């Protein structure tokens, strides 16, 4: 158990990740980017941007303003950049994280777990690299039940043992987590050969697929258990900015006095999913290893994408960014309310659900239906309505599951209403 002390991050790093060393080519590239214009470099292997066919670009925003790239900016946008992200975007995002979460680790030394960040190609890349850094074959990994299918797809090839922690409409249940952890003695978690879990994964807001959001009290309880068993918590929070009620609940990052939180954020739900822009925030020793992994794989997130978003954020300022978020929230709140209205109209006798307080999903249990796989993937398709059967969000997707996930992000209220009308008929026929 570590309280306000220096954590031993080495025990969390896999042999493969720990053995990674900075790429000499990437080091030269980043050194050159930090050097004065007077430097004459014959070292870098970057292509000459004068040979690229693109000269300039202008992108019009919905408010009429422009994001522009002149010839000089375009040459930079089309060139290699630092693996951890372009400096101006990182600085903006670090200031945002400080203002939103006020992490205690901001003032720590790097060795103590000082908060650091890096840019990733969507939060999914960040998650995958964090998992590959931390998880060894045979490790026990704790996660919400049910959980995001992309997380399962990333973890299962690593050969770890996935242990589900039951959840309800308020997220992971601390009592269930405590019961699961009682299999291990917290005083023995550091002993060689201990099988105690090292990491816990959770989506704390608007969980995919359940729409569940964890309360402040539950987060505190979960964090205390993580302290007791010296676990890292992976706080996967792509729906943080889609919380419908204010004030927003404090994050795990805001509670992190030990430097045991690795947080992933995404711009996919609020700026663009196609731009593929995400962030990893966490203790510097661990973020540094994620950056090494990026150097050896994707090298860096698109420089053009980063510069475009950075220019947008700097023109907005933090106030303008949060005003944009308010507009996004209002849209999704109306979409959610439309779906709940249609569910009350058509499904209240054949299904049960809790109204989500964040995200873009409604998680429904169909009454009297033991498994929704055939109903959704065959019969519903015949009636031209599509939802996601709940089994795909379970560790063993072949187990019977009475749940379905409905997304309210894209369809119009009229389409949602018609889809639920058709679904209600299908359920009644099946019963």
User: Treating both helix axes as pointing N-terminal to C-terminal, what angle do 303-346 and 87-101 enclose, rounded to 10 degrees?
Assistant: 40
Residue with tokens 């797809």: 153
Q: Quick check: 98 pLDDT over 80?
A: yes
Euclidean distance between CA atoms 76 and 341, whole angstroms: 50
Position 264 scores a pLDDT of 98
Q: Under a CB-based contact definition with an 8 Å cutoff, are residues 360 and 239 in contact?
A: yes
Please, which pLDDT band fits residue 12 given cuts at 50, 70 and 90? Answer: confident
Whole-number mean pLDDT of the chain?
93
Position 11 scores a pLDDT of 72
Q: Could you give the 3-state DSSP secondary structure of residue 23?
A: coil
Position 26 scores a pLDDT of 61
34 or 401, which is more confident?
401
What's the average model confidence in pLDDT over 20-27?
A: 64
Q: Under a CB-based contact definition with an 8 Å cutoff, are residues 105 and 139 in contact?
A: no
Euclidean distance between CA atoms 198 and 139, whole angstroms: 8
Give the predicted TM-score (pTM) of the model.
Answer: 0.93
Euclidean distance between CA atoms 338 and 235, whole angstroms: 29
| 6-10, 73-77, 297-301: segment of lowest average pLDDT | 6-10
Per-residue tokens: 156: 């299962």
Euclidean distance between CA atoms 342 and 414, whole angstroms: 9
Please, which pLDDT band fits residue 295 given cuts at 50, 70 and 90? Answer: very high
User: Treating both helix axes as pointing N-terminal to C-terminal, what angle do 174-181 and 216-228 enclose, rounded to 10 degrees?
Assistant: 10
Q: Quick check: 15 pLDDT over 70?
A: no
Residue pLDDT, tens place only, 336-380? 999 999 999 999 999 999 999 999 999 999 999 999 999 999 999
Position 360 scores a pLDDT of 97
Residue pLDDT, tens place only, 207-246? 999 999 999 999 999 999 999 999 999 999 999 999 999 9
Position 6 scores a pLDDT of 60
What's the average model confidence in pLDDT over 321-333?
A: 97
Position 3 scores a pLDDT of 42
């Amino acid at each position: 158990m570590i309280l306000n002390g220096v954590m031993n991050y080495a025990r969390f790093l896999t042999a493969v990740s720990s053995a990674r060393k900075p790429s000499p080519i990437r080091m030269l590239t980043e050194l050159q980017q930090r050097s004065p214009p007077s430097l004459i470099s014959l070292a870098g292997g970057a292509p000459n941007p004068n040979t690229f066919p693109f000269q300039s670009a202008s992108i019009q925003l919905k408010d009429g303003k422009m994001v522009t790239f002149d010839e000089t900016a375009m040459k930079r946008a089309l060139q290699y950049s630092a693996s951890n992200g372009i400096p101006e975007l990182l600085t903006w995002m670090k200031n945002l994280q400080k203002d939103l979460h006020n992490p205690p680790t901001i003032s720590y030394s790097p060795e103590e777990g000082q908060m650091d960040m890096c840019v990733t190609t969507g939060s999914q890349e960040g998650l995958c690299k964090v998992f590959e850094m931390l998880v060894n074959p045979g490790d026990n990994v704790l996660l919400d039940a049910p959980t995001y299918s992309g997380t399962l797809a990333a973890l299962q090839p690593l050969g770890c043992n996935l242990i589900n922690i039951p959840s309800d409409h308020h997220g992971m249940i601390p009592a269930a987590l405590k019961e699961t952890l009682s299999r291990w003695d917290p005083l023995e978690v550091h002993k060689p050969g201990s099988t105690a879990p090292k990491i816990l994964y959770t989506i704390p807001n608007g969980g995919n697929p359940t729409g569940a959001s964890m309360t402040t009290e539950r987060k505190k309880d979960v964090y205390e258990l993580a302290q007791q068993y010296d676990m890292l918590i992976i706080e996967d929070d792509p729906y943080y900015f889609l919380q419908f009620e204010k004030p927003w609940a404090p994050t795990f990052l805001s509670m992190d006095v030990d430097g045991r939180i690795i947080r992933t954020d995404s711009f996919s739900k609020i700026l663009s999913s196609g731009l593929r822009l995400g962030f990893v925030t966490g203790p510097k020793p661990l973020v540094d290893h994620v950056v090494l992994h990026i150097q050896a794989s994707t090298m860096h997130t698109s420089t053009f994408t980063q510069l475009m978003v950075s220019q947008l954020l700097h023109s907005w300022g933090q106030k303008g960014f949060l005003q944009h978020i308010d507009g996004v929230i209002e849209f999704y709140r109306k979409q959610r309310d439309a779906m709940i209205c249609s569910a009350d109209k058509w499904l209240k006798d054949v299904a049960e659900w809790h109204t989500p307080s964040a995200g873009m999903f409604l998680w429904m249990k169909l009454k009297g239906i033991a498994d929704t796989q055939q109903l959704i993937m065959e019969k519903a398709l015949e009636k031209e309505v599509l939802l996601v059967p709940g089994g795909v969000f379970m560790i063993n997707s072949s187990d019977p599951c009475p749940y379905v996930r409905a997304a309210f992000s894209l369809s119009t209220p009229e389409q949602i209403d018609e889809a639920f009308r058709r679904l209600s008929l299908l359920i009644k026929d099946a019963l």
